[in-house]
Structure formats: C-alpha cells, structure tokens
Structure 1
Amino acid sequence: MYTKKAVLAVAAALAALLSAVAAPAAAAAPAAAAAPSGTVLGPCGPGRLCLWAKPDFKGRAQTHELATTDIDSCVALPPGTSAQSLANRTGRPVTTYQSAECAEAGEFETYPGRGTWVPQTPYEVRAFKLWER
C-alpha cells in the first residue's frame, strides 16, 4: 500500500519530468489546439478535471471543478461509465484509478495539475482523487 506522501512524491517527480517535456506545450496551447503528435487537445477550462470516454479526447466528456470536488476523497464515475483520456487543469495532482473504489490493488496513476493532457490512459479510469499540493 502506498502512503499519501509517497504518491505525492511520485506526482512531484512526474510533474518535473512532464514540465520539461510536454506540459509547457500543453499549458500554452489553446483548449482545442493540435498536440505535437497531431492529436487535437480536448477543451478543458482552468480549475477543471476533464475526462473523456474514448481515447484522443473523444466521446462524452465529464467535467469536475476544483471548487465542487472534495480534496483527498475518492470520486467514482457514474456506474457503467469510464474514461480513457483526460486533462488535468486543477492545479493539483490527481490520481486516477481502474477501480471505482480507488483501490490500489488495481492500476492507478498520478498526473500533475499544471495543464496535463493525456490522450490515452493505460487503463479505463473509473474513479479519481484530487490531492492537496
């Protein structure tokens, strides 16, 4: 089992790596600009976590605002739904889970909140947690 401190340390390391490689391009790009790979970034406003049902920001999008989402709490997506691409513009790290209960027995991944667009998650996202910085 991973502690919150360990998850945040990994998130900080990922943030540093992504900011050096991809985050500046994504953060500076307009909401619907083309990513370097030719993928069109999905629209996602500041302070939001946006989740799309299909890869490459396609399908029905779900939007969660920082102002209305509990920090450090597991937020399950509606039953029968999942996400396969996301944009994190909350300014906080977000961990996505394969499990709808945020169980760490399944797959999970933490993404920094500095304008991170993920066109293809490594698993179907069924829940997430926003973390305190």
Structure 2
Amino acid sequence: MSTRTLLTALAITTAALVSSGTANAQESDTPKCDPGEFCLWSAPDYTGPTKHFDLETANPGECTPLPAGLIAHSFVNRLTRDASVYQGETCSTEAEFTTYPGRGTYVPNAPFVVRAIQVWEN
C-alpha cells in the first residue's frame, strides 16, 4: 500500500470517527423532554432530579407548585402553550417570574430558583 493511499484511508477513518462522536455528543446533550411536556431539573444544565408536567398534570390557568422539596434550576417548555415560571410557590408576581413560549424553549440555567409553573390558555 502506498503512503498516499494509507494517508487517504487514515483521513477518511478519522473523519468518520470525528463526525460519529459529534453526532453522539449532540444527541446526549439534548435534555429528555417529550413534545407536550414541561420539564424541570433541580440543577443547571438539565441535571439532577427532574419533574415532567403535561396538560393533565398542570391545568391551564392554574398555579402548579413543584412537589415538596424540589426546586428547579433548568427547564424546557415543549408544551403547545406558553408557560410562566415563578420564584414563589403560589405564583405570586411579588417575586421573580418570567413567561416562556411553548414548542421548544430550552433554559439550561434559570435566572432564578423556580418553585411553581403556570400554563396559559391558548
């Protein structure tokens, strides 16, 4: 085998390995949150214990506090509706709150500790 053929084969193999590793890294970096769910994680970057809500477990227009002992530092809104996250457990607007659009909003590091959510009517 000539040096040129060997270098070409090595370059092709290296490119295949690099592109394969990149695809796997991108897939594993995507947080697990199915369409139609609002997902929260207790730590930044979608790590730690998680809680998944959907329209059956978070009624539109109602304040939904997180389960006792769980606070969120990262979240994903894959609902078809907008949702607000609240610093206070009662969805009080006296503390921090922000609304995020549905259909794929990813927040790896929340601007404040999240203790409740509210899903909005369409």
* TM exceeding 0.5: yes
Paired residues for 1:1-133 under 5 Å:
34=26, 40-133=29-122
* Bigger radius of gyration: 2
Q: Indicate the percent of aligned positions where both proteins have the same amino acid.
A: 41
SS of residue paired to 1:117: strand
CA deviation after TM superposition for structure 1 residue 34, in Å: 3.3
CA deviation after TM superposition for structure 1 residue 114, in Å: 1.7
Structure 1 stretches of 4+ with a deviation exceeding 4 A read: none
2-structure distance, mates of 1:68, 1:119:
23
Asked whether the 8 Å contact 1:74–1:102 carries over to 2, the reply is yes
SS of residue paired to 1:53: strand
2-structure distance, mates of 1:33, 1:101:
38
Normalised by the size of structure 1, how large is the TM-score? 0.69
Aligned residue pairs, count:
99
Q: Which runs of 5+ in 1 are unaligned?
A: 1-31
CA deviation after TM superposition for structure 1 residue 70, in Å: 0.8
